[in-house]
Amino acid sequence: MAAGTKLRQVLAGKGLIEAMAAHSPLSAMLAAEAGFDAIWASGFELSAMYGLPDVSLVSMTQHLDMTRAMAERSGLPVVADVDTGFGNAINVLYVVEQYERAGVAAIVMEDKSFPKVTSLIAGGRQEMVRIEEFQGKIEAARSARTDKDLLFVARTEALIAGLGQDEALKRARAYEAAGADMILVHSRQKTPDEIEAFVKAWDGKAPIALVPTAYPQMTVARVRALKKIGLLIWGNHAIRASVAAMRKTFAQIRKEGGIAGVEGSIATVEDVFDLQGMGKVKDNEGRFLR
């Protein structure tokens, strides 16, 4: 079954898709193991993994390769964060063709101009493209997909850019009219108020996608109560969990001058063997090594 079809089935069956961010096949596999419905192939996470800011420095090819590997190894539908679409509507045609071929289930594209600046930083240059231009990019994305179940999510950054709810609603309506299957509305406010007000005012048919990183009070139960949400993205918790865990372990090893103290708090080699699929590896006589 195509990935997009699988994702649409999750939405139809559960009423809400819960996606966890990932930046590598291993993190995507751990998200699958934890029971999430989908993987968020996050630009922020991949940029951070390369030690770079999320300002359009990671190339399409880097993100595409990682996205393909995450889809293959996790087996979960992948929601690809293609930022601004790596250019204009012409670039979007190619982007959608490539990501569909890589096996993604959904593509999220945002209405900022290239190069983008991460939405999470206060004071970032948040420049938006014109509504008509972004509608053209949505139409390009729709026409480029050969699998009609590939979900196209239009993301508006109107609230992030400080343009207010009326502009966010205007853009969301225009993007739905241009053919978006879902609307992602992003906010950097520290409470869910801004987003909840948007959701209440939303009069379109397309379900809404949320990334509640800045307002962590937003739980699955609260999202479900809003009724109109189709996709909930936990935006960067894989990379942040990794950073915290590595820092703690590295500091302890430095402090104690050895590794014995961390043995009980890190994954065993056997655990990593399992994740790597060492159970499929044979010796020279054809016997399984594990």
Q: Which two tokens stand for residue 272?
A: 């990593």
Asked if 45 is part of the footprint of Mg ion (rule: CB under 5 A), the reply reads no
First and final CA of the chain: distance in angstroms? 32
In whole angstroms, what is the distance from residue 64 CA to residue 83 CA? 12
Among 43, 124, 192, 212, binds Mg ion (CB under 5 A): 43
- The distance of closest approach from Cβ of residue 21 to ligand SPV in the complex, given in angstroms and rounded to an integer, is 6
Going through 119-236 in order, the beta strands assigned E by DSSP cover 151-156, 182-185, 208-210, 229-234
Each residue of 102-112: b (16+ CB within 10 Å) or e? bbbbbbbbbbb
- Catalytic residues, by residue number, are 54
- Choose one: 3-11, 41-49, 157-165, 194-202; the region binding Mg ion (CB under 5 A): 41-49
* Binding-site size, ligand SPV (CB under 6 A): 14
- String marking each residue 46-85 x if it binds ligand SPV according to CB under 6 A: --------x--------------------------x----
Cβ within 8 Å of residue 82, ≥6 positions away: 43, 60, 63, 95, 99, 107, 108, 109
* Binding-site size, Mg ion (CB under 5 A): 3
- The distance of closest approach from Cβ of residue 80 to Mg ion in the complex, given in angstroms and rounded to an integer, is 10
Q: Scan for tokens 């594990």, then name that residue.
A: 290
Asked if 42 is part of the footprint of ligand SPV (rule: CB under 6 A), the reply reads yes
Which one-letter DSSP state was computed for residue 154? Answer: E
Q: Which of residues 50-109 bind Mg ion (CB under 5 A)?
A: 81
Nearer to ligand SPV, 119 or 242 (CB): 119
Which residues bind to ligand SPV, rule: CB under 6 A? 21, 42-45, 54, 81, 118-120, 211, 213, 235-236
